[in-house]
Structure 1
Amino acid sequence: MIKLGQVNTLEILRESNHGVYLIDDEDNEVLLPNRYVPESFKIWDKLDVFVYLDNEERPVATTDIPYIRRDDFALLRCNQITDYGAFLDWGLVKELFCPFKEQAFKMKPGGWYLVHCYLDEKTNRLVASSKTNRFLDNKTLTVKLFDEVDLIVSHPSDIGMNVIVNKTHSGLIYKDNIFKDISVGDKLKGIVNKIRPGNKLDITLGQVGYRNIEPNAMRIVQELQDNSGYLNLTDKSSPDAIKDRLQMSKKNFKKAVGTLYKKRQIEIKPDGIYLV
């Protein structure tokens, strides 16, 4: 089956005046216009092509790969506004349409917007939506605590920056955990730092190595992140103080601190432990 909005691997079936026709395993055909046909080819050669609808609503193939594909997110520039909606530059000849009803805020020519590309079942057209939250779902999580995840920066909030997690869930990076400039549309790596009630995900940046640390060490890292990178405990702290704060023995605490120190992920000072 030829999939709209996705890259398809198809075989060259025959030539025509307008280009070459490509075919899939189910004998579905699509035209690859002359401008995209390779200089040299053979019948039954395989090509990777992106398929979408042309200006006459017919499926057409291209060897150009757009900035966004179906069921994906990307930051795109608005080229023009018409009576029907906005048209976005996604790297193809025909622009990507974003109806007014799918605009979280009114788009303007020249503006950049984070959008989701999806197939409108009513029209069978690929369209964009800047209402990205409606394409995310945290009811059933596909990630767990301390997993490394792919992030797309979504939009700022008063307490941090909202992010899209693995193109599936919504998450939040608190201001205290942002140590570099990040902007909407940036693609980053992060770690699931905490799962709060309602499956709300707290994310940290740049802590990829932590996912392989033993649980007690990870508990210390989590406590450090929750307290602006500082923990007022040392190897001279009483067992009771360590137990009250971290729910672990002093022996396990010292072992975990040693692990983190060897990995150069903490600094040990007379007044406590600091996150690097």
Structure 2
Amino acid sequence: MNIGQTQLLKIAEKNYSGLFLEDENGERAFLPKIFASEDAEVGSEMEVFVYQDDDKLKATTEKPTAEIGEFAVMTCVQALPSGAFMDWGIIKDLFIPYQEQKLKILEGKRYLVYVYVDEKMGLITGTTKFKRNPQYEDLPFRKGDKVNLIIMGESELGWNVIINRKYIGLIYTSDVYKRLFPLSDEVGYIKTIREDGKIDVSLQPEGYDNIDEFQQVILEKLESNYGLLYLSDKSEPEEIKQELQMSKKNFKKAIGGLYRDKKIEILEDKIRLVNEGE
């Protein structure tokens, strides 16, 4: 039985209180009636998440915000001297022992949590202590891949981020073109996978293949600003960053394409939207 993971299990027994689900090795987990369909039949399969409760294996059809080996932002629902209980989307809260708290966890606050199985106890556990920029092997990414990010926090080099809930990466300060907030969600792009297994991420795609996104941002800004935008290829990078949340390099590529498509006019200190028929 893979505790802390979503899996397909077979219905082995059915009674008034719920279902007993079984894996291929005959190990069982109990699914309470509240999560069981009335027309569930013995022998059929169900997709469930398996967890521990009072030394027993239980199952739920609820979806946790993170499974074993994943990160998620969770809210503390109860803080005790021994540890904290976190809401992770299922009926039983996730426990973070006091010694696994980087800073003391406070009730009602949100934290970035990593879920793992404690080797000594064999229990699903949470922690807010994890390495920054760890080294990975056999990463499932290629340069340019679009990924989902959770913003961790700022460092000397930039911002540490969680990639697709499983990997820690870094956005260098030079690649940050918008205001970021810890624990917020963002979309990013794999920039570099280093030889040492560390991952660099960008908030914007690179190259002409992805320039359409920047062109759309500029067009929307022009349309909301009466067809004028007081930026040009002579503008300072910081001005462009503040106004459009993109680099000067991508701005120049985007307006170049819009100009060739006769959608804008490039003037000395501004760009102007070209109306249809002009």
Report the alpha carbon displacement of residue 89 of structure 1 after superposing the two structures with TM.
1.0
Contact 1:12/1:47 (<8 A) preserved: yes
Contact 1:165/1:171 (<8 A) preserved: no
Show the 5 A alignment for 1:13-24.
13-24=12-23
Aligned-partner SS, 1:3: coil
* 2:98 aligned with 1:100: yes
TM-score normalised to structure 2 length: 0.69
Q: 1:174 to 1:260 in 2, by over 3 A?
A: farther
TM-score normalised to structure 1 length: 0.70
Deviations 1:109-162 (A, max 9, x none): 111000100111211111111113279434776545444333221112355321
Q: Which residue of 2 aligns with 1:116?
A: 114
Unaligned runs of 5+ in 2: 211-236, 242-246, 270-278
Contact 2:135/2:197 (<8 A) preserved: no
CA distance in 2, matches of 1:138, 1:269: 48
Q: 1:178 to 1:39 in 2, by over 3 A?
A: farther
Count of residue correspondences: 236
Deviations 1:38-91 (A, max 9, x none): 12222112111111011x121111111122211111000011111211111112
1:203 maps to which of 201, 204, 224: 201
Q: Which residue of 1 aligns with 2:39?
A: 40
Contact 2:14/2:20 (<8 A) preserved: yes
Identity %: 32
CA distance in 1, matches of 2:3, 2:87: 18
Q: Which residue of 2 aligns with 1:187?
A: 185
Q: Which residue of 1 aligns with 2:170?
A: 171
Q: 1:175 to 1:212 in 2, by over 3 A?
A: closer
Q: Which residue of 2 aligns with 1:29?
A: 28
* 2:151 aligned with 1:153: yes
Show the 5 A alignment for 1:228-247.
229-230=247-248
Q: Which residue of 1 aligns with 2:125?
A: 127
Q: Which residue of 2 aligns with 1:238?
A: none
Letter in 2 for 1:16: N
CA distance in 2, matches of 1:263, 1:204: 27
RMSD: 3.7
CA distance in 2, matches of 1:268, 1:200: 41
Q: Which residue of 2 aligns with 1:5?
A: 4
Aligned-partner SS, 2:48: strand
Aligned-partner SS, 1:78: strand
Q: 1:201 to 1:92 in 2, by over 3 A?
A: closer
Letter in 2 for 1:132: F
CA distance in 2, matches of 1:142, 1:37: 35
Report the alpha carbon displacement of residue 28 of structure 1 after superposing the two structures with TM.
1.8
Letter in 1 for 2:73: L
Q: 1:94 to 1:210 in 2, by over 3 A?
A: same
CA distance in 2, matches of 1:18, 1:263: 67
